[in-house]
Amino acid sequence: METTDRNLATRPVRLLAVLAALWVGGPAAAGDPAPGPLESWLDAEVGAAMERDRVPGLVIAIVRPDGVPVLRGYGRADVEDEIPMDPERTVLPVASVSKLYTAATVLELAADGRLDLDADVTGYVDGLAFRGAPSSPVTLRHLLTHTAGLDERNLGRYLPLDLSDTSVRDYLLASMPPRIRPPGVVYQYSNHGMALAGLVAEEAAGVPFPDLVAARVHEPLGMTRSSFDPAAPRGATGYADVDGVLTPQAPHYVRTAYSGMMVSSAADQVRMLRELLRPGVLDAATIDGLTSPRFRHGEESPGTAFGAFEGLWAGRSYWWHEGQTRGFYAGLYVVPEAGLGLFVAYNRHHGATAHRLLRALLERELGPHGPESSLRPSREPTEALAERIEGTYRFVRHAHTTRELFFASMLGRAAEVTVRREDDGAFRVAHARFVHSRDLVLVEPGIGAVNGFLAGNDGRARFLYYARSAFERIPWYARETVRDGWIALSTICLLYT
């Protein structure tokens, strides 16, 4: 079991005590001015969300077109020690929101001419060599959009936070996942890929990555409580619900640290939100790279920027990144067209609270969501289309070649989706009904959700994409149910022979 000086893992806290403390030391203290309409609305929304999701403490920042931020803290950063969440001072892990800052650092160096986004990254890091068949080079453009074609790897990526083995360079050179497909084909989220982008920046600048981010992003923006240094102090305890008991979680070190180990405060994140909405400090090309699409599976699908993802609401694009780590969750969102930004972080490991608050804010400020696309059904026959797209598809983010493939049943299954044509010519995709719109694109009637397909040289679909997620077509014998049957049969044979 991982331990710290305070032995967090042995300090369970009953949920009832946490919920009773939610509003103690909350957003308003005696003598504070009365909250405005947005603050009052936010207090009610956050209070309801925290009670529903059993969140011990939360900080939130909102930036609107008038430029005046709303900063609020709720509940406890540490329940046992009764430390309140303070949006100005409480420092929390932001997990994969770190990737936005990794990308910004790379883009700042590219703006200076010190990095080329389209150069082979092996030319920047001595000793770096990818295993795997694809021969075309991997570039920073691929790494920053998660399209490098790298396999998935998680075993051995987490360590106790004892700071005894923090060389990201050594880890990546020894443990970089192999390439499993040519770069630039499909999106497959990669912690290793983004960490490698950070390592490339470190090598090019000749400066340790935490110091490089500080010099190129944090300090210019005035972010005084943000750091990638694994020794940076944290001001909150993370919690997980274990059998109805809210249990403190021991902090850990992630060996792909350049893509997920930043800590920050809500007040610091206001400075990044403002910069993303009204650039003026970082290079204009950096902000454009963080808030405009650099990869799409299809013209009707949301895009991937450098270090951020596109969402759609009421016909407008917003750009976001979320992150989770042991006992914490964080999310950053900006709607450039509306001048609206949101940051939320809390000490509970799940995304439901952030998603509720994001939807509530977008509906309040921008109106109802509306359909996801304007595509209309086609009247063309779909028999020939069915021959090209029917089959089973598996979520691409799973181990293909690493040793984790062997432990797939124990580590968790990759989602599988079956596509089949129905008698009336519509298609059943998982549990939803879609109709043909055009080419290799299906649309969900009334909702506007889109499924698209990427075909191989034979004209048959190789990949299914929904929004940003991609699924690869698999043969019948590779399905989870078939594999489980073989495992069960093999086990029986071993037991009785």
Residue 11: pLDDT band with limits 50, 70, 90: very low
Q: What average pLDDT does this structure show over 254-270?
A: 97
pLDDT at residue number 25: 38
Q: What average pLDDT does this structure show over 346-359?
A: 95
Whether the predicted pLDDT of 465 surpasses 80: yes
**pTM value?**
0.90
SS3 content of the chain, % helix, strand, coil (to 5): 30, 25, 45
Q: What average pLDDT does this structure show over 391-416?
A: 74
Query: How many separate helices (H) and strands (E) can be counted in the chain?
Result: 14, 22
pLDDT at residue number 299: 87
Average pLDDT, the chain: 88
Cα Rg for the chain, rounded, in angstroms? 24
In tens, the pLDDT along 425-453 reads 999 998 899 999 999 999 998 888 889 99
Residue 198: pLDDT band with limits 50, 70, 90: very high
Whether the predicted pLDDT of 334 surpasses 70: yes
In tens, the pLDDT along 123-148 reads 999 999 999 877 799 999 999 999 99
Per-residue burial over 342-373, b = 16 or more CB atoms within 10 Å of its CB, e = otherwise: bbbbbbbbebebbebbbebbbeebbeeeeebb
Residue 300: pLDDT band with limits 50, 70, 90: confident
Whether the predicted pLDDT of 418 surpasses 50: yes
Residue 229: pLDDT band with limits 50, 70, 90: very high
Q: What is the DSSP letter of 403?
A: G
pLDDT at residue number 181: 93
In this structure, of 7-16, 25-34, 90-99, 282-291, the range with the lowest mean pLDDT score is: 7-16
pLDDT at residue number 54: 95
How far, in Å, CA of 18 to CA of 221, rounded? 35
Residue 349: pLDDT band with limits 50, 70, 90: confident
Question: Could you tell me what percent of the chain has a pLDDT over 90?
Answer: 71
Residue 12: pLDDT band with limits 50, 70, 90: very low
Q: CA triplet 322, 87, 364: central angle to 5 degrees?
A: 60
Residue 468: pLDDT band with limits 50, 70, 90: confident
Burial of 265 (0-12, 13-18, 19+ CB in 10 A): buried
Whether the predicted pLDDT of 342 surpasses 90: yes
Instruction: Specify which of 236-250, 278-292, 404-418 reaches the highest per-range mean pLDDT.
Output: 278-292
Whether the predicted pLDDT of 249 surpasses 80: yes
pLDDT at residue number 487: 61
How far, in Å, CA of 223 to CA of 271, rounded? 7
Q: Which residue has the higher pLDDT, 402 or 319?
A: 319
Question: Could you tell me what percent of the chain has a pLDDT over 70?
Answer: 87
Biggest alpha carbon distance in the chain?
A: 79
Cβ 204 vs Cβ 159: under 8 Å: no
Whether the predicted pLDDT of 405 surpasses 60: yes
In tens, the pLDDT along 66-113 reads 878 999 999 999 999 999 999 999 999 999 999 999 999 999 999 999
Q: What average pLDDT does this structure show over 408-415?
A: 59
Three-state secondary structure call for residue 215: helix
pLDDT at residue number 279: 96
What is the DSSP track for 416-468? EEEEEE-TTS-EEETTEEEEEEETTEEE-TTT--EEEEEE-TTSSEEEEEETT
Q: What average pLDDT does this structure show over 209-228?
A: 98
In the beta sheet, which residues pair with residue 285? none
In tens, the pLDDT along 157-187 reads 888 877 667 799 999 999 999 999 999 999 9
Whether the predicted pLDDT of 9 surpasses 70: no
Whether the predicted pLDDT of 291 surpasses 50: yes
How far, in Å, CA of 239 to CA of 246, rounded? 6
